[in-house]
Every structure is written in structure tokens, then in C-alpha cells.
């Protein structure tokens, strides 16, 4: 991932230094397990645990010769040890180390992503509560529908992010597993007891049945979960972008002093942060497709997944970590214009009250079909002639004969739409 979209903590998880350290953690745990089983001397396992190390430059040098990163890594590790070095990688195959270490990296990445999710959820909760009763127009198909509140819009996002947290926890648990089962998963060269010891020592779950590799449905679940969280971010960011349109201007992402929106037009204040979030969500969806294609490997294994995972696993974590943090900053410093929201509510001539008039006419005994025709006729006149809906109703004897002015007054009340908003907030504990 390019440095611009890489945050330091997540980048550290996926650095070569940390990757090879995790490989070494697996190798050391395996040696300790062999010692527990009495297959290698305890003092040799202890020396390996205390002295084993690697040199990144040497690994790269040896890889140019071996064209195999695990053998290059093992050669470097052996140079840090004496005779006891012969027990490193004893009975193991490359995927035992690679896949188990990847489980450690994905677990560590999940810790950071869960913190990111919590940070965004917390900001959304605060903003939802702040704007709980801030009226704005609800739009369906992009057209004015009925009044809602900006806080309720954000409360929906809160609930979605809480679901995303549950998904991410499940995906973490699915992928934070290890497998030390040998060349085709039969445990012919490494007993199941060793596998159990290593996974327990490293704090990983156990792949109950493997074929040398941990099954890639687990990784697909993880990456698709990240993509789904990205899709939520895109949904939220798209809404902010739409609300920032000049004709709407109900909310606006942060714009700092000295910032420029256009090289040509000094007046521009573009929603570029939200647009960036939307673009990165598309990248995550591409990774999700690749992760699903990695599930089908030939027979017990091939390495068609390996080349893609070197890209999609680190980058998916880095992209989502960055996007979550970016959008959290947007929502934390979001500028909201309640006065514009009210102006926009009034822009459709009071037509947002059409359902209330429809229901009131039905309650007088009129059929739904007849009531609908009357309300729609008056509504279309408002659209076409740009005059208030209430004015048309007052001039329609089919309405006034059933609904006196006082009753119509009561129908045209924005407060009506606030009376039950609190129920959603109670359900969410906000």
C-alpha cells in the first residue's frame, strides 16, 4: 500500500520485519513443543528460543538464490544458532509456518480495526444524539418524501456499525487459527499434539482439518467482511457528498484554513475526503472477489492464492484502517446546517404532509382511492404551479367539506414527526 494510505501501527503489522518475526515465533513454539514431546533436547529448544534471529538483508540475498522465501529465512536463522539449529523447522512444511504466522498477523490487524470501528461508532453515537431532533427532509429516490431528523439518519449508521463490529469479531475468530499438520495435512511428520501445543502457545485457534494449508474460506470471510465494512463507509460518505451539494448544503465535511478545493476555481469546497472513502471501498470489493477465488485450490494445495494474498491481506487491512480513521475525522468535525435543512423542507411547498392529509380524509369515511386522487391532484398542482400545498387544499371543497381549517392546521405540523423518533434512540441505548 502506498505510504499516503498507510497508518504506522497497521503498516508495522504487515512489515517484512514483523512477518519474519511471526515466522520465527512459530518455529520457536514448534521447537518448544518437540522438547515437550521428548523428541529434541530441552536445552536445545531453550537455546533456540533465546538466540534464534534473522537478518532481513541476508534473507533477501539468499532469496535471490533459492527463489523461496521460507528456505531463505531458515538459512538466515541457522546462522544465528549452533548445532541446535538443525531442529528449526523439524518436521514442518512451509505452509505450517506461513499460514500460522499469517493468522497471528490477521489477529493483530483485527485488534487495530476493531479499535477503528469503535472510534467511528462512538463519534456517530455522539452526533446522532446531538442532532436527534434536528428536522430535515427525508428523500426517497432523491425526491422529498416526509420529514425525518438528521440524528435518526445517523442512528441508522450507528446500528450498522455495531453489526459490522460483530461481523469483524466473527471474521477475526475464523481466521486467527494455526495449522501444523505437515505436507498434506496428515500429521505424518508432526503429531497433532505438537500442533495443539503451538496454537495454544501462540494464542490461536486450531484448524481441525487441514490439507497442508489452512482453508481459504476463512480468509475469504475475513476479506469480504472488510469489504462489507467498506461498503458501509461508502454508503455513509455518499450521503455526506449528496448533502454537500450546493443546491442542498445541509452538511459539509471539514475544510481547513489554507486548504484548496480546485486549482482553477478558488471558491470550491469539494467533498474530497468522502470521495476518497468511496474510492477505497471499491478497492476493498475487488480484494473480496480475489479472496473468494482463492478458496478453490487444486487437490490438497497449490500456491495460486499465495501471490494474491501477499497483496490483498496487507492492503485490505491497511485500506480499511485508513478509511475508517479518515471518515471518523469527517464525522467528528462535520459541519451541519440546520437552517438549510429547514429551508429545504419548505422547498417542496408543504407536500411532505400529503400522507397525513390522505389518512385524515380516509378517517372521515372516504375511500382510499378517492382520497388518493384528491390529494394527488392538489399535490401535482403545487408541483406544476409552484404554490403551497395548503393553499390548494383550502381552495378544494372536497377537502374543506370534510376537514375544517383547524384540522388542516394540525396536519401541517413538523412536530408530529418528532414524537416517535425517541423510540429508535431508546432501542439503541442512545
Which are the catalytic amino acids? 141, 262
Query: What DSSP designation does 421 have?
Result: H
Q: How many Å apart are CA 313 and CA 309, to the nearest integer?
A: 5
| Dist. CA 150–CA 248, nearest whole Å | 14
Strands (E) located in 193-328: 205-206, 251-252
282 in Cβ contact with 274 (< 8 Å): no
What's the CA gap between 352 and 374, in Å, rounded?
A: 16
Residue with cell 446522532: 128
Contact 231, 161 (CB under 8 A): no
Residues 6+ apart with CB under 8 A from 372: 358
SS3 category, 294? coil
Residues 344, 136 contacting (CB under 8 angstroms): yes
Grid coordinates standing for 73? 529465512
Question: For the range 251-254, what are the long-range contacts, defined as Cβ-Cβ under 8 Å and sequence gap of 24 or more?
Answer: 251/150, 251/334, 251/335, 251/336, 251/337, 252/334, 252/335, 252/337, 253/330, 253/333, 253/334, 253/335, 254/329, 254/330, 254/333, 254/334, 254/335
Nearest to 185 by CA among 98, 102, 92, 103: 92
Amino acid at each position: 500500500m502506498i505510504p499516503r494510505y498507510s497508518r504506522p501501527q497497521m503498516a508495522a503489522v504487515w512489515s517484512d520485519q514483523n512477518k519474519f518475526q511471526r515466522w520465527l515465533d512459530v518455529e520457536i513454539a514448534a521447537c518448544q513443543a518437540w522438547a515437550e514431546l521428548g523428541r529434541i533436547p530441552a536445552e536445545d529448544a531453550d537455546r533456540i528460543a533465546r538466540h534464534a534471529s534473522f537478518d532481513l538483508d541476508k534473507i533477501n540475498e539468499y532469496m535471490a538464490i533459492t527463489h523461496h522465501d521460507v528456505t531463505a529465512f531458515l538459512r538466515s536463522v541457522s546462522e544465528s544458532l549452533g548445532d541446535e539449529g538443525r531442529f528449526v523447522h523439524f518436521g514442518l512444511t512451509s505452509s505450517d509456518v506461513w499460514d500460522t504466522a499469517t493468522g497471528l498477523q490477521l489477529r493483530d490487524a483485527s485488534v487495530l480495526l476493531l479499535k477503528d470501528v469503535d472510534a467511528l461508532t462512538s463519534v456517530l453515537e455522539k452526533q446522532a444524539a446531538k442532532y436527534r431532533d434536528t428536522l430535515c427532509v427525508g428523500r426517497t429516490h432523491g425526491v422529498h418524501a416526509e420529514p425525518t431528523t438528521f440524528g435518526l439518519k445517523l442512528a441508522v449508521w450507528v446500528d450498522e456499525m455495531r453489526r459490522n463490529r460483530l461481523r469483524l469479531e466473527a471474521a477475526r475468530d475464523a481466521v486467527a487459527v494455526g495449522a501444523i499438520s505437515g505436507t498434506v495435512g496428515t500429521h505424518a511428520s508432526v503429531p497433532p499434539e505438537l500442533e495443539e501445543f503451538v496454537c495454544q502457545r501462540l494464542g490461536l485457534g486450531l484448524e481441525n482439518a487441514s490439507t497442508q494449508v489452512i482453508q481459504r474460506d476463512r480468509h475469504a470471510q475475513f476479506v469480504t467482511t472488510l469489504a462489507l465494512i467498506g461498503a458501509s463507509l461508502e454508503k455513509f460518505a455518499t450521503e455526506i457528498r449528496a448533502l454537500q451539494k450546493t443546491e442542498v448544503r445541509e452538511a459539509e465535511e471539514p475544510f481547513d484554513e489554507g486548504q484548496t478545493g480546485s486549482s482553477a476555481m478558488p471558491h470550491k469546497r469539494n467533498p474530497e475526503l468522502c470521495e476518497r472513502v468511496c474510492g477505497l471501498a471499491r478497492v476493498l470489493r475487488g480484494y473480496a472477489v480475489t479472496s473468494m477465488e482463492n478458496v478453490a485450490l487444486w487437490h490438497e494445495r497449490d500456491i495460486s492464492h499465495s501471490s494474491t494474498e501477499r497483496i490483498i491481506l496487507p492492503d485490505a487491512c491497511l485500506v480499511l484502517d485508513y478509511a475508517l480513521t479518515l471518515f471518523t475525522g469527517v464525522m467528528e468535525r462535520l459541519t451541519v446546517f440546520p437552517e438549510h435543512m429547514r429551508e429545504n423542507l419548505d422547498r417542496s411547498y408543504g407536500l411532505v404532509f400529503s400522507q397525513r392529509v390522505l389518512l385524515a380524509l380516509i378517517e372521515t369515511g372516504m375511500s382510499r382511492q378517492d382520497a388518493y386522487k384528491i390529494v394527488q391532484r392538489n399535490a401535482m398542482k403545487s408541483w406544476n404551479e409552484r404554490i403551497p400545498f395548503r393553499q390548494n387544499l383550502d381552495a378544494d371543497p372536497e377537502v374543506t367539506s370534510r376537514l375544517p381549517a383547524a384540522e388542516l392546521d394540525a396536519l401541517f405540523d413538523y412536530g408530529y414527526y418528532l414524537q416517535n423518533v425517541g423510540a429508535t434512540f431508546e432501542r439503541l441505548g442512545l
